Amino acid sequence: MLSTPRLLAMCAAACLAAGTLGACAGPRSPQLTTTAAEPLTELAGKPDGFTPTDDGATLSFGETAYVVTTGFDTGLPVYWEVRVDSPRTLTVDQVTENIGQDPAMIGRPAPKQRGSGSSGSTGASDSDDETTTSAAPPPESFAGFSCFVATFTPVAFGTDGADISVALPSVTPVDDAGLRANFVERDDNLYCGLESNDPLPAYTGDITLGRSYERAVVTWAGKRDRGIVGTGVELATVVSPRNTAQPAQTIRWQD
């Protein structure tokens, strides 16, 4: 469907060609004006005694951070208490049992079936007609895994009863220097054997105040090359341009 400005442009072009632009003009539409809402300058609905944890803070495992997430388009806040516990070490066998397959084979190509021509080829031997299986590239060998569990507990909405979506913070494994460490692409909760693999809800209509939501963060060490092994977890929020009252929060748990 054509938009109104495009229809007017086509009409004007046709009338110019006919020399009758004045006859083409229709009744004048009323001017539509919209005023964008001013960005919020305060944190609405903040619970008593809730003080957002300072950006750049480093906490010990088991300590609670006070985190504010906001709707990117609205700036309305949701208030959380977040805790990250000490990591648990998992063997490759334990992870294999938890996810139902060898983690070394995730994303690896399946063995290819290889033949050497049709049976009607001149001079082909019996062995040439046989289909063989070519070896897949050797998988990464894991020495082990570490599982951190972050617990998110929503404590209040500052949405005045409206249901909104908020920008959830990222949680990533980091090393002692704060560099991003080895991680898995998805299903961290399954790797760690948590009962739920449901994602942390971003829509307030799906969030239950006071309920604890667990979100696992996995890091690993390789046998041939250990890579950067995570010793802590970093949380980073997303700033909404619609709320100047809450700066970004980057918080790390590490002992």
Return the pLDDT at 37.
66
* Whether the predicted pLDDT of 180 surpasses 60: yes
CA distance 178 to 23: 70
Total-model pTM: 0.74
Q: Which residues of 221-251 are buried (b: 16+ CB within 10 A; e: fewer)?
A: beeeeeebbbbbbbbebeebebbebbeebbb
Query: If we measure between CA atoms, which residue out of 192, 221, 233, 193 comes closest to residue 86?
Result: 233
Average pLDDT over residues 24-39: 45
CA distance 43 to 76: 8
Domains in the chain: boundaries: 58-93+139-253
CA distances for 20 relative to 4, 9, 23, angstroms: 20, 14, 5
Best-predicted range by mean pLDDT among 27-36, 40-49, 100-109, 165-174? 165-174
- pLDDT above 70 covers a percentage of the chain that reads 73
pLDDT band (50, 70, 90) for residue 160: confident
Return the pLDDT at 251.
98
Q: Class of 58-93+139-253 per CATH? A: mainly beta
